[in-house]
Amino acid sequence: MQGGKVAKAARSARDTAGSCFRTAVVPAAGLGTRFLPATKTVPKELLPVVDTPGIELVATEAADSGAQRLVIVTSPGKDGVVAHFVEDLVLEGTLAERGKFHLLEKVRKAQALLDVASVVQEEPLGLGHAVAQVESVLDDDEDAIAVLLPDDLVLPCGVLDVMSRVRRKRGGSVLCAIDVPKDEVSAYGVFDVAPVPDAVNPNVLRVNGMVEKPALADAPSTFAAAGRYLLDRAIFDALRRIEPGAGGELQLTDAIALLIAEGHPVHVVVHRGSRHDLGNPGGYLRAAVDFALEREEYGPALREWLHHRLGPDWDPQLTATD
Ligand code: G1P
């Protein structure tokens, strides 16, 4: 599609200078069990945050940070996720005929972001195994990849730009960390960190180790992996050498820990903004409300309703018979 090509070319011309990766990987092979029954037929990554699927938000972030290609890791039969990025001529024709140009623009946005490819993870063997599937579709000259977990919205966007700058300066791999409450550490990959003596940015820390879903007593810090990784290509070799870890799965965290143990430089950028976890209904709802409050067509009415709903005058009986 003409418009899409122009938009993609404009992005890549702007971005070749900045980012140190061309391919962004989005693992999307999970069953979405926490969203059943919705995810019986609708992939979790297509659930809308207001009106835009989570995976389109993540793809936009990747494209804005310089990715030219998105590789989606899917599971057998989960091709709807990829279809979201494919031009739909019938739908576009109908919208154009009806003069719905505003909707046409919305529909064309995803396919204009970047090139999209997919690889299939035949068996659910873990995040590390999902990322390993991507090696075969990389070009020989790609020495790093970005990985964005579609459950995580890291806001405001832009942490991948900082991570690219850190890799350019310090080499190796760079991850995004968030400081989580102590009682949540065991839901994450947790970093053992140390300050970087010559760092200008105090949010850049050296990683001396990483452990997946530790018990609180074993957690080396409260800095947790927040779903954004800029990984050196060496990760694929490490992924071939790990054994199943937490939950009996091949963990990306364990491959990163192996690289660290072998002297590969790993740093984190501590993200101090906000973050939503789209991976469970509670976090997903918060994201939807947060995004809707920012939209001029929905925000004011929603704010007013929430105010009323949470206020002392709320009477469910009255509302039910309204
Ligand atoms: C995954 C990673 C974990 C990371 C988390 C961030 O876990 O394995 O290291 O901290 O994403 O959301 P999951 O949430 O898929 O269990």
Percentage of the chain modeled with pLDDT above 90: 87
Residue 227 alpha carbon, nearest atom of ligand 1:
6
Q: How confident is the model at residue 87 (pLDDT cuts 50, 70, 90)?
A: very high
Residue 210 in contact with ligand 1 by CB distance below 6 A: no
Q: Which residue has the higher pLDDT, 24 or 15?
A: 24
Over residues 253-274, the pLDDT tens digits come to 999 999 999 999 999 999 999 9
CB of 151 within 6 A of ligand 1: the answer is yes
Please write the tens of the pLDDT for every residue from 50-71.
999 999 999 999 999 999 999 9
- Is there an atom of ligand 1 within 6 Å of 27 CB? no
Any atom of ligand 1 within 6 Å of the Cβ of 53: no
Rounded distance from Cα 313 to ligand 1 centre (Å): 41
**pLDDT value, residue 9:** 55
- pLDDT the model gives residue 5: 56
Q: Quote the pLDDT of residue 313.
A: 86
Are the C-beta atoms of residues 75 and 121 closer than 8 Å to each other? yes
CATH for 17-298 is: 3.90.550.10
The two tokens of residue 36 are: 């059943």
pLDDT at 212: 98
Of all protein residues, whose CA lies closest to atom 15 belonging to ligand 1?
127
Evaluate whether 250 touches 73 at the Cβ level (below 8 Å).
no
Residue nearest atom 11 in ligand 1 by C-alpha distance: 227
pLDDT band with cut points at 50, 70 and 90 for residue 14: very low
Mean pLDDT across 222-226: 98
H helix and E strand count, the chain: 12, 13
Lowest model confidence (mean pLDDT) among 92-101, 200-209, 218-227, 309-318 = 309-318
- Report strand pairing: 223-232 vs 173-179: antiparallel
Q: In this predicted structure, what is the pLDDT of residue 2?
A: 43
> Measured from the CB, is residue 15 less than 6 Å from ligand 1?
no
pLDDT digits (tens, 9 = 90+) for 149-185: 999 999 998 999 999 999 999 999 999 999 999 999 9
Q: Is the CB of 253 under 6 A from ligand 1?
A: yes
Share of residues in the chain with pLDDT > 70 (%): 93
What's the rounded Cα separation, in Å, for the pair 202 and 215? 27
**Ligand 1 within 6 A of CB of 188:** yes
DSSP SS3 for 173: strand
The encoded tokens of residue 165 equal 């700058």
pLDDT value at position 40?
92
Mean residue pLDDT of the chain comes to 93
Top-confidence residue, 78 or 316:
78
Q: Is 225 in the pocket of ligand 1 (CB under 6 A)?
A: yes
Using alpha carbons only, give the angle 166, 261, 245 rounded to the nearest 5 degrees: 105
254 lines ligand 1 (CB under 6 A): no
**Ligand 1 centre distance from Cα of residue 189 (Å):** 6
Specify the ligand 1 atom closest to the Cα of 247. Answer: 16
Per the structure block, which two tokens stand in for 19? 């980012």
Whether this prediction's pTM lies above 0.85 is answered by yes
Say yes or no to pLDDT of 321 above 70: no
* Arithmetic mean of pLDDT, 91-113: 97
| Contact 118 CB / ligand 1 (< 6 Å) | no
